[in-house]
Amino acid sequence: MISHQLRAWLTLAWLDIRGRYRRTMFGPWWIVLTSGLMIGALAFVYSEIFRIPLREFLPFVALGIVIWNLISAVLVESTGVFTTNKHLFQNMQIKPEWVLARMLARNGIIFLHNAIVVVVLFAVLGHTPSWTEIALGFTGLMVLCGFITGVATIMAFLGARYRDLSQLVNAILPGAFLVTPVLWSENVLGNRRFIAEVNPLTHFVALVREPFLGHAASTLNWVVSLGLTVIALGIAVRVATSYRRRLIFWL
């Protein structure tokens, strides 16, 4: 029962992607193209600014952008995910989880497309992480997925109740991109590293990115990320159980 419903919503997520790129020549490959262009341009310009060799800087930026795009897309979409599906909620008995799952799955599919850029880049540059590094990177990715699932759930309910939230997220994210070590490394901050370390997103980006670049993520990265993930998921479960039946009145 659960599994076939989940499958149905995953199929809907895939149909969403297909729908978005309908009548385009490249279809979902536009996702790959868009990220590829952005990564290429940023790496080209910023490797000059930071005076880091392009070969070294490209994988760093590529991973950073792909991870950041996943985080920011989920955050942006989560606040409005229930309001955009208002029509469904008002006309049928529908579980909020499925609507969330569809949104998360859609962004998961987009992430996988983006990951192609990284894979191609690594192949071209002859950069091959070891199996341990790959395993660590994927473990980090799983933690990140847990975290954004929790945060998205909280934001989705709050965003339906408080409409300012989606504006707030839109206002914060572009700045957050610049102050989070996505394009730059926290090592350049020297003894002012705390600027990066108080930012929770720093730890999630590092957790996924570092292993693929051949360094291990720090213990601090692991502790902060795991801690925040547990907290986010805990609050998410509470929010979802307390407000699932109030939700309809907020839409």
Instruction: Select the span of 143-151, 161-169, 194-202, 222-230 touching another protein (CB under 8 A).
Output: 161-169
The tokens of 36 are what? Answer: 């590829």
Cα–Cα dist 156/103, whole Å? 11
Euclidean distance between CA atoms 124 and 119, whole angstroms: 9
Residues between 164 and 183 with contacts to another protein, criterion CB under 8 A:
164-165, 168
Q: How far apart are CA 58 and CA 215, in angstroms?
A: 16
**8 Å CB contact between 180 and 75:** no
Q: Does 92 engage in binding with another protein (CB under 8 A)?
A: yes
Asked if 215 touches another protein (CB under 8 A), the answer is no
The reply to whether 9 sits near another protein by the rule CB under 8 A is yes
Q: Which of 25, 51, 53, 87 is the binder for another protein (CB under 8 A)?
A: 87
In angstroms and rounded to an integer, the radius of gyration of the C-alpha atoms of the chain is: 19
Shortest spacing between CB 9 and another protein, in angstroms: 8
CB closer to another protein out of 15 and 119 = 15
- Cα–Cα distance between 180 and 76 in angstroms, integer? 17
Does the protein bind another protein through residue 3 (CB under 8 A)? no
| Residue found under tokens 């930026």 | 61
Tokens of 136: 């660590």
Q: Are 247 and 89 in contact (CB under 8 A)?
A: yes
* Side chain identity, residue 6: L
Restricted to residues 231-250, the positions that interact with another protein (CB under 8 A) are: 245, 248-250
Q: How far apart are CA 157 and CA 83, in angstroms?
A: 10
The amino acid at residue 53 is P
Interaction with another protein in 17-76: which residues (CB under 8 A)? 19, 22-23
Out of 86, 127, 161, 193, the residue judged to bind another protein by CB under 8 A: 161
In whole angstroms, how close is the CB of 246 to another protein at the nearest point? 8
Q: Is 142 one of the binding residues for another protein (CB under 8 A)?
A: no
Chain residues binding another protein by CB under 8 A are: 4-5, 8-9, 11-12, 15, 19, 22-23, 87-93, 161-165, 168, 245, 248-250
